[in-house]
Each structure stands twice: as C-alpha cells, then as structure tokens.
Amino acid sequence: MKIYRSALLRFADDGQAVYDSDALLAVAADASGRQRVVAAGSWQALADQYIQREGVEVIHLPGKLLAPGFVDMHIHYPQTDVIGAPAPGLLPWLENYTFPHESRFHDREYADGVAEFFMDELLRNGVTTALAFATSHPASVDAIMTAAQKRSMRMIAGKVLQDRNSPDGVRDDTEQGLIDTEILINRWHGVDRLGYAITPRFAPTSTEAQLRGAGELAAKYSDVWIQSHVAENLDEIAWVKELFPAARSYLAVYDDFGLMRERAVYAHSIWLDETDRQLMQSTRSAAAVSPTSNLFLSSGYFDYLKADVSNMLYGLASDVGGGMSFSPFRTMQAAYVVGREGHAKQGQSLSPQNLWWQHTAGAARALGLGGVIGNLQPGCEADFVVINPACTPLLERKTAQARNLDELLFAMIILGDDRLIEQTIVSQAK
Ligand code: GUN
Ligand code: ZN
C-alpha cells in the first residue's frame, strides 16, 4: 500500500469539490491487481488507521496538491501535428489541412510514432483518459491502443467511418469500414483498460448505409462507445440539411440511425435547439465541450445555461488539433471565458470548482465511467496528478495569497498550463 500525504482535491457525488489541505490518500491493488484508492480524507482522521500497517510506504509531498487525472472527452490523436493550422472555418480546415494529414496514417510505423508522442503529451499535461478519434485506417487504431496499453492507460478510441465526401486516402468503403470496426471492437474493447468507440466522423461524410450499419453495431455492442461531431459550424449545418432533408435537425440524423444512447458523445453541440437538448438528455448522450477549438475555428459558443436547464450530460474536451492545447488548464480557461457569454448576461459565471469537475469527475460521468475514473474517492482507479501550485513565480505568488479553495483553483485555471503538472500517476495492473 502507498500512502500519499499532501493537499487533496476530490469530488462528492453531487459535483461539489472536497478539499483537504493536509490529506491522506491510500492506494493499493485490488483482488485483480488493479491499483485503486482505498482511503481519502484528512490526515488527522485517517493516519492512525493506515500508517501503522505492514508494508506501507509513506510519500510526503509538502506544498503539492493531489487531484484526479484529467479526462479529455474528445481529441484527435492524428491531429497532434495539425494544431495551429489557420483556416476561415471548419470545412476548409478539414479539406486543406486535416484530411491530407490524416491520409498518412495508413502507415503503421508513422501512426506508431505519433501515437507514442501523443500519449506522452497527454500524460505530461495530466490527462489520464481520453476519448479519441483515430483515422479511417485500422492501423491507426492498433497504434493508439498499443501505445495506451504500454502505459496502462484507460483510453477509448475508434476507427473513423467516412465513406463519402472525403478525398482519396481517407475515404473508406461502406462495407469494409463496418467490417473493420467490428474486427477492432473484438480486438480491443475491454482489453486491459482499453475501450472502443464506433466513430462516424460526422453526418456529411457517411452515407445512410454506413450510418445504419454503425447504428446496428452500436445496438449489438451496447457497452461500446459512440463518438461523432454535431452542430459545430453553420456551413456544416447547412450542408447536413441538404444531405438529409427529411431529418428534423442535424442531431436527429444520428438518432434516426440508432446512434444516440448512453456512451454516445457528440463533440461541440453548439447549435442545438431545445428539442435537440431534450433528445440529448432523454438518450443520456453527452456533449464534449471544446472551447479552444470553437474559438480557434470561430465555430460559436456552447450554451451552458441552456444545457443545464435541459439537464443534458456534458464535459470538457481539447479537440486537438482544432483545439489549441493539450492542457486541461487552457481548456478550462477558455470554458470560463465562453461561459461568461451566457452566464455574464445573467450576472453569473462558471465556478472554478465546476470547471475542474467538468474535466474530471463530470467528464467521467458523461462517459459512463463515474466512480471509476476522474475522482479520488475510495474504489476509484488510482489515476491522479501531483500539482505544483508554485511552478512559476506568478503562480507561486498568487496561490500563496488564495484565501479559499475557489481562489486557489481559479489562480491555476487562469494562469496555469503543463508546468503545473509535476507528475502523472496511472493505475498499474499487477
Ligand atoms: N467535423 C468533422 N471532422 C472534424 C474534425 O476533425 N475536427 C473538428 N473540429 N470537427 C470535425
Ligand atoms: Zn473533433
């Protein structure tokens, strides 16, 4: 058993932050060998019970903060090298930068190289789980799964389905794409900590036959994830209207093909109407809110107020390479600013505790992994970060002046980046 002594941040079931400035976090292997949190709470209350036990190693980290590993609900690993590609909007960005770049991932060796870098970059930024797009090439999935497995990470990924309106090099074949998806589900889903996500890129690049097949697989493999994009950009929405004239809305296209259910995650979800939000809520589908991407591509603002009224699930995501950074701190910063767009008009804003929750326990809940990752309550898998709140002169100065938890978290959200993450610890199996 390992006992950590440090400040500790975790979350109650209702999303409230729980903070102990001098805490004990006990981590030990369960019967299957997986490392989990055994105890978490104030040092004073728990130390007597735990530090006397045999074989206990105590790790004292004065001045540091332990917090749950971050969960990135939407990211494209093949777009690691696409970050910062300027374009007037989503569709030219895809055509001119993203599709040509993704065509390189048919080459397993190339994909392995990017996947290795990507995984290290996630960990360097404190991200321990991501729901990731690969490309349309099955080899690209083998590459990311292999890289995640090597690091014992809980990673969810899938082969992109895109059988139309896509150039040579990334376009797949309707039937073959579905056959490959099923092969990859059987190869990777549930292996160690890996999960598979059925991944139609977005409605405009899949035929009805491919979407129907994806929906059939989603019904057959009910604990597999589904990921796609929806209602990101106004030109994209107009295109969907042309391609699916009978659908009630863009989101309804996915519903029509059986692609909305628990564990379905729709990136962006900016331009939804009330009926769409109800559909998200009633199907327990979740939105992946990607504020740095939405700002970079000038897509629009996620409406937090309306999302909360509808009680739909959502959480934060980087959306690299539309997104501007791997760092959850940069994503939370942008979410705060974007949240002001709606809330400020009502004299409110997103709280730092809520922003942090959206990128940890809230994101885990939205992925159907509440109580498993994204938190440090007893029973959770032991994925966590060691944060150094004094990692820069300004952060040292600012966090030392924090009078309460909100001020401490806010200082890190507004001023922070990868430098805050001193160490990322991933739950190992025996
Ligand atoms: N819509 C379809 N594909 C993509 C993508 O790769 N990135 C973003 N941001 N939106 C998309
Ligand atoms: Zn995306």
Instruction: Tell me the three-class secondary structure of 268-293, residue by residue.
Output: ECCCCCHHHHHHHHHHCCEEEECHHH
Residue 320 pLDDT more than 90? yes
Q: Is residue 371 part of a domain?
A: no
What pLDDT sits at residue 53? 86
Own/partner contacts of 23-28, CB < 8 Å, gap of 24 or more, are 23/66, 24/50, 25/66, 25/376, 25/384, 26/1, 26/2, 26/50, 27/1, 27/2, 27/3, 27/382, 28/1, 28/2
- Average pLDDT value for residue range 95-100: 98
pLDDT band at residue 31 using 50, 70 and 90 as cut-offs: very high
**Are 91 and 47 part of one and the same domain?**
no
CA gap 197, 189 in Å, rounded: 9
pLDDT one-digit tens code per residue, 294-318? 999 999 999 999 999 999 999 999 9
Q: How many residues belong to the chain?
A: 430
Who has greater pLDDT, 237 or 53?
237
- pLDDT category at 344 given cuts 50, 70, 90 is low
- Read off the amino acid at residue 111: A
Q: How many CB atoms lie within 10 A of CB 401?
A: 10
Asked whether residue 246 falls in the same domain as residue 165, the answer is yes
Tell me, yes or no, whether 392 lies in a domain. yes
φ, ψ for residue 109, nearest 5 deg: -65, -40
- Shared domain for 128 and 157, answered yes or no, is yes
Is residue 58 domain-shared with residue 142, that is, in the same domain?
A: no
Taking the CA of residue 236 as reference, the ligand 1 atom at the shortest distance is: 1
- Based on the fold, state whether residues 287 and 388 are members of the same structural domain: no
pLDDT at 411: 98
Residue 316 amino acid letter: L
Residue 403 identity: R
The closest ligand to the CA of 75 turns out to be 2
pTM as predicted = 0.98
pLDDT of 347 strictly over 90: no
- Answer yes or no: are the C-beta atoms of 317 and 292 closer than 8 Å: no
- How many angstroms separate the alpha carbon of residue 176 from the centre of ligand 2? 23
What is the CA(309)–ligand 1 centre distance, in A?
A: 27
Report if residue 114 sits inside a domain. yes
Residue 126 and residue 156 in one domain? yes
Q: What CATH number is given to the structural domain containing 310?
A: 3.20.20.140
Q: Residue of the nearest CA to atom 11 in ligand 1? A: 229
Q: How many percent of the chain have pLDDT more than 90?
A: 96
Domain match, 350 and 208 both: yes
How many domains are there within the chain?
A: 2
Residues 127 and 238 in one domain: yes
Q: What type of residue sits at position 413?
A: I
Say how far apart CA 209 and CA 304 lie, in whole Å: 34
Q: Whose atoms come closest to the Cα of 165: which ligand?
A: 1
In a domain, 430, yes or no: no
Residue found by looking up tokens 């917090």 in the block: 67
pLDDT, tens digit, for every residue of 355-378? 999 999 999 999 999 999 999 999
Tell which atom from ligand 1 comes closest to the C-alpha of 204.
Answer: 2
Of 76, 78, 72, the C-alpha closest to 130 is: 72
Cα–Cα separations (whole angstroms), residue 110 to 137, 180, 187, 220: 12, 20, 21, 32
Q: Tell me the C-alpha distance between 320 and 297, whole Å.
A: 12
36 and 147 part of one domain: no
Residue 228 lies in a domain: yes
Query: Does 82 share its domain with 16?
Result: no
Ligand 2 center from residue 345 Cα (angstroms): 29
Alpha helices in 125-167 (DSSP H): 138-150
Residue 370: burial class (beta carbons within 10 Å; 0-12, 13-18, 19+): middle
Asked if residue 111 belongs to a domain, the reply is: yes
- Smallest CA separation from ligand 1 atom 8, residue: 322
> pLDDT by residue (tens digit) across 56-67?
999 999 999 999
Round to whole Å and give the CA distance between 186 and 83: 32
Of 414, 398, 229, 401, nearest to 329 by C-alpha is 414
Ligand 2 geometric centre to CA of 110 (Å): 21
CA distance 41 to 21: 10
User: Measured between alpha carbons, how far is 66 from 367 in angstroms, rounded to an integer?
Assistant: 23
340 confidence band (pLDDT: 50, 70, 90): confident
231 with 177, same domain? yes
pLDDT at 231 over 90: yes
Same domain membership, residue 35 and residue 150: no
Domain of residue 406: give its range.
2-68+376-425
Where does ligand 1 bind, in terms of residues with CB under 6 Å? 76, 90, 94, 98, 201-202, 229, 232, 293, 319, 322
Tokens at 63, concatenated: 């001045």
Ligand nearest to the CA of residue 136, numbered in listed order? 1
Residue 241 falls inside a structural domain: yes
- Give nearest CA residue, ligand 1 atom 7: 322
CATH code for the domain of 400? 2.30.40.10
Q: Which pLDDT value is given to residue 115?
A: 99
Model pLDDT, residue 202:
98
Any domain includes 418: yes
- The rounded Å distance from CA 89 to ligand 2 centre is 13
Q: What are phi and psi of 78, to 5 degrees?
A: -70, -10
